[in-house]
Structure 1
Amino acid sequence: MSQQLSTASDLDMRKELVRLRMEMHRQQLLYHAQPLSHPFEQARSMLARRRESVDGGTGKKPLMMAATVVLALFGRRLGRIGTLARVAITLYPLIKGQQKLRSKLR
């Protein structure tokens, strides 16, 4: 199956490889835990990015985002009205972008 390590340098290289892998996993855990440990900081940075990119964003206001979340959770229970509302929220950024483009061209 696996060969015996014959020299001390092979053993040292293997130890170094294991140490590097452990460090990589530690860094990954820290990276993925950052949003969980600081949720308010994450929300603040999202809002700051939103303010910086007024033209390039999706065009969704906070109320629109809340409606999207509510319809994603409860839209199927509302039947046909929920389906129409989900389609409208999906098309909203396209229509809003088209309106902005028309206003820039005028």
Structure 2
Amino acid sequence: MSLPLSSSNDLAVRKDLVRLRMEMHRQQVLYHSQPLAHPFQRIKGMVVSRDSGSEHHNGRGPLMIAATLGLTLFGRRLGKIGKLARVGVMLYPLIRRLRH
């Protein structure tokens, strides 16, 4: 007696598995699209967390992010000054941590 290659129970399990995978991917896309969909809330959250009095900022304020972005885009055009500025941006969190 041979068994059918794909019984209706196997097909139902496969459909459920595909549905669960699709839902997982949908949730991942939603999660990762939130910062892109609401950039002002993200910036507001960074500023509020900086002003909340926590001492562990690790140097990632809005000004540092803007400086890093600017140096990433235009640092090579600035030559030696750009290179020194990039090194300064990289060392700033370490120096700040040593001061505290």
Q: Are the aligned partners of 2:75 and 2:83 in contact in 1 as well (CA < 8 Å)?
A: yes
Matched to 1:97, the amino acid is R
Counting aligned pairs with the same residue, the percent is 55
> 1:65: Cα distance to partner?
3.4
So what's the TM-score if we normalise by structure 2? 0.79
**What residue ranges of structure 1 are gaps of 5+ in the alignment?**
101-106
Inter-partner Cα distance in structure 2 for 1:34 and 1:64 = 22
> 1:53: Cα distance to partner?
5.5
Aligned to 1:63: 63
Alpha carbons of 1:84 and 1:26: their partners in 2 closer, same or farther (altered >3 Å)?
same
Q: Are the aligned partners of 2:76 and 2:83 in contact in 1 as well (CA < 8 Å)?
A: yes
> 1:60: Cα distance to partner?
5.2
Alpha carbons of 1:53 and 1:14: their partners in 2 closer, same or farther (altered >3 Å)?
farther
- Of the structure 1 ranges 54-63 and 68-77, higher mean CA displacement relative to structure 2 is found in 54-63
So what's the TM-score if we normalise by structure 1? 0.76
**What residue ranges of structure 2 are gaps of 5+ in the alignment?**
none
Aligned length: 97
Q: Are the aligned partners of 2:50 and 2:57 in contact in 1 as well (CA < 8 Å)?
A: yes
Q: Secondary structure at the match of 1:15?
A: helix
